C-alpha cells in the first residue's frame, strides 16, 4: 500500500479550517472526497498542521495511504481534477516511505503574516491580508519581536481552547519587514500553539502603533492574563508557507 506525500496550497476563505467537520466545509474534507473519487476508498488524509478557519497555505503537507498504486503525477492531476471548483491545488504528490508522517516527522513550520498598512479599502486582497489603517513602525515591531525568540512559556499568546500539553515552545524566527504599504511578518518554529502566530502579530501591531513598548509585549502587563494581550490578528493574512522534514 503506497504512502503519498502531498504538497498543497489553498485559499482558506471558504473553509472552516483544515480539520474535517460534519457540518462545515474543510480542506481535509475536500481532499478526502477527491481521494475517494479517484480510488473508491474512504481514506484519511493527515495534515502537517491544523490551520484555523480562513487561514491560507502555500506549502501545507499531508500524507495518505491508498490500496492502488498510481504514478505520482497521475495521482496529483486526478486530485486536482476532482478538487475543482474548490480553491485547493495539489502542487506535488510523491511516494514516500511508510514511516513518513506529515505531522510528526516535521522538524520546522514556516508562516507568513501579511499586513497592508493603508487607509484605502482593499479590492483584490480582500480576505488575504489584514488592513491596518493606522501608521505602523515596522522597525520598532521587529526589535520588539526579537524578545520572543528562543524557548519561552507562550501562555500569553495561546488560545484558551489550545490542547497542547505544554505552553513552552522554542521560536526560531520572528522578523518584521516593510515594503511600501506591505508589512510582512515571517516566523518559524518546530511547532506552534493554537492561535500563537495570530496573537503575536496582534500584539506586535500594538507595539507598531505605539500603544505598547517592547517591555509590554513580553513583560508583566502581557503575562498577567490573556485578556491583557494585544488583539488576535484575523486569519485573513496568515499563510502556512512551508514545512521542513
Residues designated as active site? 52
Peptide bond into 85 cis (omega under 30): yes
Strand pairing report for 56-65 and 238-244: parallel
DSSP string, 56-121: EEEEEEEEEE-SS---HHHHHHHHHHHHTTSSEEEEEEEEE-TT--TTTT--EEEEEEEEE--SSP
Grouping H, G, I as helix, E, B as strand and the rest as coil, residue 151 is strand
**Which residues sit opposite 191 in a β-bridge?**
none
Q: What is the CA radius of gyration of the chain?
A: 19
Closest CA to 219 of 137, 140, 147: 147
Q: Let me know: does 52 contact 24? Beta carbons within 8 Å.
A: no
Query: Is residue 111 marked as binding?
Result: yes
Enumerate the known binding-site residues for substrate. Answer: 111
**Binding site membership: which residues?**
111
Amino acid at each position: 500500500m503506497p504512502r503519498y506525500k502531498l504538497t498543497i496550497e489553498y485559499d482558506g476563505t471558504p473553509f472552516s479550517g483544515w480539520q474535517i467537520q460534519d457540518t462545515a466545509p474543510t480542506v481535509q474534507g475536500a481532499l478526502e472526497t477527491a481521494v475517494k473519487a479517484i480510488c473508491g476508498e474512504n481514506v484519511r488524509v493527515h495534515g502537517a498542521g491544523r490551520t484555523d478557519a480562513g487561514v491560507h497555505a502555500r506549502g501545507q503537507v499531508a500524507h495518505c495511504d491508498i490500496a492502488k498504486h498510481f504514478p505520482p503525477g497521475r495521482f496529483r492531476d486526478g486530485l486536482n481534477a476532482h478538487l475543482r471548483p474548490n480553491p485547493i491545488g495539489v502542487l506535488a504528490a510523491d511516494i514516500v516511505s511508510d514511516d513518513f508522517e506529515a505531522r510528526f516527522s516535521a522538524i520546522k513550520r514556516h508562516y507568513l503574516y501579511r499586513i497592508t498598512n493603508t487607509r484605502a479599502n482593499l479590492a483584490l486582497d480582500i480576505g488575504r491580508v489584514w488592513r491596518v489603517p493606522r501608521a505602523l513602525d515596522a522597525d520598532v515591531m521587529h526589535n520588539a519581536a526579537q524578545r520572543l525568540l528562543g524557548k519561552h512559556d507562550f501562555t500569553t499568546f495561546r488560545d484558551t481552547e489550545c490542547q497542547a500539553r505544554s505552553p513552552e515552545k522554542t521560536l526560531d524566527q520572528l522578523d518584521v519587514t516593510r515594503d511600501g504599504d506591505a508589512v510582512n511578518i515571517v516566523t518559524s518554529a518546530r511547532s506552534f500553539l493554537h492561535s500563537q502566530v495570530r496573537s503575536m502579530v496582534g500584539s506586535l501591531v500594538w507595539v507598531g502603533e505605539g500603544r505598547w513598548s517592547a517591555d509590554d509585549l513580553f513583560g508583566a502587563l502581557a503575562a498577567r492574563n490573556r485578556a491583557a494581550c494585544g488583539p488576535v490578528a484575523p486569519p485573513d493574512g496568515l499563510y502556512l508557507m512551508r514545512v521542513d522534514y
